Amino acid sequence: MSRSGNKKPVGFPTHIIAGGIAGACEALACQPLDTIKVRMQLSKSGRAPGTKPRGFIATGAYIMKRETPLALYKGLGAVLSGIVPKMAIRFASFEAYKDFLADKETGKTSLGGIFVAGLGAGVTEAVAVVTPMEVVKIRLQAQHHSLADPLETPKYRNAGHAVYTIVREEGFGALYRGVSLTALRQATNQGTSIAIRSGANFTAYQEIKKFAHRMQPDLPELPSYQHMLIGLISGAMGPFSNAPIDTIKTRLQKATAIPGQSAVQRIVGIAADMWRVEGVTAFYKGITPRVLRVAPGQAIVFAVYERVSGLIEKVKPTVQDDYHSE
């Protein structure tokens, strides 16, 4: 992700450290918006004739009033526990796929190659980390218990207990419920499902970043605010295209499996029920907090990633020189 082709590629340890820190910053800043999005996607409000679904602000206020403001951070433990492997896999696999698809003579990757590399990165992170992490996160976020009442015991106490309970009651496969939808979502925005999400996100980011460098040839590196702005623009491109898939995925991962029913039958059943009972707007429930979460979240991720990886790469030569001088 460097500016110059003469610069050495960022090492895998740098991807882990910079990606992990960037992902943690994103989660801490954006988790409340994600919780509101999940509650809106699972909400049955507005089903009755003459009523409207609870909106973004009303949902957030409802959660805080009934369950305390801390409830907006339900599922944060599951997210943070998967942040380092998720971000490491995202950036490292993207660079690996991009290098594999690069022209053997010039070493450059075409726009189409970058898009395919982004798709691959999205699918890889979806299968390896994101799906089980989201199943646990959604189960925790869906619980309507008050954190202020010690006598009100939730089914899942924390991320570790949720994993144990899900595996014990539903089997290990339950952690991978919705993996195809998650991969499909992560792959246009870096998620029109996981595969489509990565492609658009990384492609847009790379191309806008190149344009910014051309407009400012005297700058050795782009300032952090420009990385954040580029990430904001690229991150906003996916949610609208993959909103229906994300909503179906959320409902699928929250529900328990029905014996004898295949994954395809469950997905079709959920989509048909949403269409029949709630109408087309049900597929876009939670779109406001999702856009507000994904776009700024990507801005934070790319800005922090570029800053931290740049600092690490600057420090590494000094450490090596000191080592060899002894």
pLDDT at position 194: 33
Q: Above 90 in pLDDT, residue 63?
A: yes
Amino acid, res. 306: E
CB atoms within 10 A of CB 148: 12
> DSSP letter at 102?
S
Tokens of 18: 């910079």
* Strand, helix or coil for residue 193: strand
280-306 pLDDT, tens digit per residue, is: 888 988 888 888 877 787 778 777 887
**Residue 195 above 50 pLDDT?**
no
**Amino acid letter, residue 324:** H
Closest CA to 203 of 118, 123, 121: 118
pLDDT value of residue 54: 85
Q: Predicted confidence band at 19 (pLDDT cuts at 50, 70, 90)?
A: confident
Whole-number pLDDT of residue 154 = 86
At residue 159, does pLDDT exceed 50?
Answer: yes
Identify the pLDDT of residue 230.
76
Which candidate, 289, 292, 239, places its Cα nearest to that of 40? 289
